[in-house]
Amino acid sequence: MLFDLPNQPTLYAALLARDERYDGHAFVCVSSTGVFCRLTCPARKPKAENCTFYATVGECIEAGFRACKRCHPLQAAAMFDPTIGALLHALHERPDRRWSEQHVEQLGYDLSTVRRSFKRQFGMTFLEMARHRRIREGFETLAVGGKVITAQLEASFESASAFRAAFAAAANFFARRWQRACRPPPWRP
């Protein structure tokens, strides 16, 4: 990476000032909303303790954050490469689809070109991005108190073991433990 991220206070100040010098070089992930934004996003600014900064969109997605609907941090890459734009649009239209190489080929794209383009722009392939999006659906279901089986089905995983393995790899622990951690403590008078 040619650009080393400055420290947290510097990046937070750039976020508050909407400093365009950092646009595309750093992204903010907001833990209270589960969203990642460009530093120039016009949305209301989060508290500093809710912010984590990453250098790439791929790192934000791997950390479990979704793209902001106000500043559209994925759009710069989509405008740069029409293939990326078309595939991101297809992913947005069909978030429940279990994307495979065959789906990409059916849309008329060369797999190696798509793989290289996504790796260059996001640090991950299109199929990895689609899988992270599906896993995030499972995280969201469990975070609001849903059952593990419901999270598995909403994330479009047919196999319970595949969902557990994917979830454990993404979260560094199992879905059942995540579900318990998200539950509110029992009410006591």
Entry pTM: 0.63
**Average pLDDT per run of 10 along the chain, which is 189 residues long?**
76 91 88 90 92 89 86 77 86 85 91 88 85 81 82 82 78 54 52
- CA distances from residue 76 to 13, 93, 165 in whole angstroms, order as listed: 23, 19, 33
Which strands make up the sheet holding 66-67, listed edge to edge? 51-54, 27-30, 35-38, 66-67
